[in-house]
Amino acid sequence: PFNAALGVSGAVAPPLAEQLQNEPWFHGPLSRRQAERLLTKDGDFLVRESSTTPGQYVLTGQQGGQPKHLLLVDPEGVVSKM
**The CATH number of the domain where 35 resides is what?**
3.30.505.10
Query: What is this structure's pTM?
Result: 0.72
Residue-number span of the structural domain to which 17 is assigned: 11-71
Residue 62 and residue 67: Cα distance in Å, rounded? Answer: 4
For the chain, residues with pLDDT lower than 70 are 1-14, 16, 74-82
Contact 69, 45 (CB under 8 A): no
Nearest Cα neighbor of 25 from 40, 7, 44 is 44
**Residue at 20 is within a domain:** yes
* Closest to 28 in 3D by CA, of 3, 5, 1, 60: 60
Task: Decide if 79 is inside a domain.
Answer: no
pLDDT for position 54:
81
The predicted pLDDT at position 70 comes to 94
Distance CA 79, CA 71 (A): 7
